[in-house]
Amino acid sequence: MPKAHETTLEIDLKALKHNVGYIKSKLSKDTKFLAVIKAFAYGSDALEIAKYLENLNVDYFAVAYTNEGVALRDAGIETPILVLHPQPENFKTIIERCLEPNIYSQRVLKSFIAVAENLKQNNYPIHIKYNSGLNRLGFNVNDIEAINKTLKQTAAIKVKSLFSHLAASEDLNEREFTLNQIHNFKTFANTLTKALNYKVLLHQSNTSGILNYPEAHFSMVRCGIGLYGFANDNAYNKNLIPIATLKTIISQIHTLNVGESLGYNRAFKASKITKTATLPIGHADGIGRQYGNGKGFVYVNEQKAYIVGNVCMDMIMVDVTDIDCKEGDEVIIFGPKHKINSLTKTVDTIPYELLTAVSQRIKRAFYR
């Protein structure tokens, strides 16, 4: 890839294709593949990622909110799209744009039926979520009778899938809890499917579930972070390629004498002659203030350079005292070689947070 001349998030679509192939290699040929592209496809670019994945023939997309699905439809995406956290306010839009809602409570079920009937829908696809232990959204097993009764009173909707979400599939210390989640979902799905008297898709596995619990693949899996090159497990991470590389450049180099300060609040004061490089990226771009004052780091000419002083809105400063560099040189924040989890670990967070925090004002560049 070419050297950066400005702050850029490079997206390697070849790596994305590799990751899809690796994840699919863990599935049976009949298991459908849902790609999770919420939050701008985990901070990359949902429209470009969706277009590319559509050419790879994924079966479903999932987004968090209705407006994310609308943006995909506006871009010409035709693959079915599951909206994971819809609000009744948006149900009319969901139907008009051929999106498919997650129905997680009686209130939401009845609200959606009312809108679907008003728009004279017939067998409009919905997805019913079961709360198997994550305790965020979802029906409980004692709701089955009420769900079935409500569904039998209308022809406006039809259940496309039953699904749930694993809480700790990446943590093998929680294996007993996860197996219990899988068992409970099977019980819920079997009981409700019998009541429905027609076949529906079943899905519960996220990326870690796909890799660690093949018995929970069911008829479809949902892959999110794995698409983007992470598996929450070093044993699997080596088989995936991070698709995103965040680059910037050195805008200016300063030399601080002993006692001179740098940045807001004079947070850094030189105890020796110190050379610093100023970079055009800051907390408005996703590099939060928690990375400042020696915690976070970047790579300048393949050498680690720690952030000094407070992170500014549009700039960070790094210590390059012992690094041979000049203004205009490329700087790597993270990428396939310089792992993002090494950086996020310094402030006790996870790659998801930094990936999805990368500002939309940063230029995206795509490579095939």
Which active-site residues does the annotation give? 38, 264
Tokens in use for 17?
Answer: 């294709």
Specify the residue for token string 């995103």: 244
Structure tokens at 238: 């080596």
Partners of 254 in the β-ladder: 276
Give the contacts of 60 (CB within 8 A, at least 6 positions apart).
Answer: 32, 33, 34, 35, 79, 80, 81, 82, 220
Distances (CA, A) of 269 to 162, 283, 317: 58, 21, 13
What is the rounded CA–CA span in Å between residue 116 and residue 124? 8
Structure tokens of 164?
């749930």
With b for 16 or more beta-carbon neighbours within 10 A and e for fewer, the 201-233 pattern comes to bbbbbbbbbbbbbeebbbebbbbbbbbbbbbbb
Strand, helix or coil for residue 48: helix
| Residue 38: CB atoms within 10 Å | 19
- Compute CA distances 128 → 35, 202, 271, 309, whole Å: 18, 10, 61, 49
Strand 81-83, strand 60-63: pairing: parallel
Of 113, 104, 204, which Cα lies nearest the Cα of 164?
204
CA proximity to 46, closest of 200, 187, 227: 227
Q: How many CB atoms lie within 10 A of CB 349?
A: 16
The letter for the amino acid at 330 is: E
Please count the other Cβ atoms lying within 10 Å of the Cβ belonging to residue 176.
8
